[in-house]
Amino acid sequence: MKDITDIFFDLDHTLWDFDKNSELTFATIFENYRVDLPLKDFLDVYLPINRKYWKLFREGKIEQQNLRFKRLNEVFEILKFRASDQMINDLSQAYIDYLPNHNHLFPHTFEVLSYLQQKYKLHIITNGFYEVQHKKLGNSKLKPYFHTVTTSEDAGVKKPNKIIFEYALDLAKTKTHASVMIGDNLEADVEGAKSFGMEAIFFGKDPDYKGLQIQNLNELKTLF
């Protein structure tokens, strides 16, 4: 990529294996809180509901605390599992507390970041919560690779809002023409960055998407 000096990564589902770490977290708290539900059945319902609520959160239609409560409450209602509001709140807090303790990354993460940091400045832009995301970066030993970390709490808005990209580039002291965004969400990461004037690479598989896309982080070595 010509003239690129700064590479911005999403964190969850791009470097940090959110689904795997989330599964391990729920396994822990289900055991600790004696939640008598098959984990697979729970996750089959939880994952799409979680995505739905995160979309609402990105769009500013739900607050952080409501997101944490409602996603679990809706899953339990569907699975007909009786849980008090207090139990749901306790499970929600335990999930946030335990999640950064599991730190599975996508294949080649360290290898690719080590390769890229020789030529480029690396950064994070994430819609995740400040405290949780910084714990993930620290516990997974990713933090030393990144010059800056921008969360939606820092910027006051979430991707795909242009303001978060403006905030991140100002923090990184770089310009749109010299920057590229890499992320798994077409709306938040790719279209958000492009609408701000940045290049973008989609980490995923979508046959209808005509722009740059990769399915393995190792492919970045051929692009940079």
- Domain end, chosen from 69, 101, 133, is at 101
What's the predicted TM-score (pTM) here?
Answer: 0.93
Token pair 């739905």: residue: 52
- What tokens were used for 116? 């890229």
Together in a domain, 37 and 123: no
Q: Walk along the chain (224 residues) and give the pLDDT tens digit of each residue.
A: 789 999 999 999 999 999 999 999 999 999 999 999 999 999 999 999 999 998 998 888 998 889 999 999 999 999 999 999 999 999 999 999 999 999 999 999 999 999 999 999 999 999 988 999 999 999 999 999 999 999 999 999 999 999 999 999 999 999 999 999 999 999 999 999 999 999 999 999 999 999 999 999 999 999 99
Q: What angle do CA 188, 142, 10 make, to 5 degrees?
A: 5
- The answer to whether residues 224 and 7 touch, using CB atoms and an 8 Å cutoff, is yes
CA distance 178 to 123: 13
Q: Which of 86, 101, 116 is the last residue of a domain?
A: 101
Q: What share of the chain is helix, strand, coil (3-state, %, to 5)?
A: 55, 15, 30
| Neighbour order of strands in the sheet with 121-126 | 148-151, 121-126, 6-9, 179-183, 199-203, 213-214
Domain span holding position 82:
18-101
- For residue 123, tell me if it sits in a domain: yes
Identify whether residues 160 and 215 lie together within a single domain. Answer: yes
When divided into structural domains, the chain yields a total of: 2
What distance lies between CA 129 and its chain's CA centroid?
Answer: 10
Q: Is residue 1 assigned to a domain?
A: no
State whether 12 and 41 are in the same domain.
Answer: no
Would residue 122 count as lying in a domain? yes
* Nearest to 10, CA basis, from 190, 163, 175, 177: 190
SS3 at position 12: strand
Query: What is the spatial distance between Cα 128 and Cα 145, in angstroms, rounded to a whole number?
Result: 19
Residues 47-78: pLDDT tens digits?
Answer: 999 999 989 988 889 988 899 999 999 999 99
Do 132 and 69 lie in one domain? The reply is: no
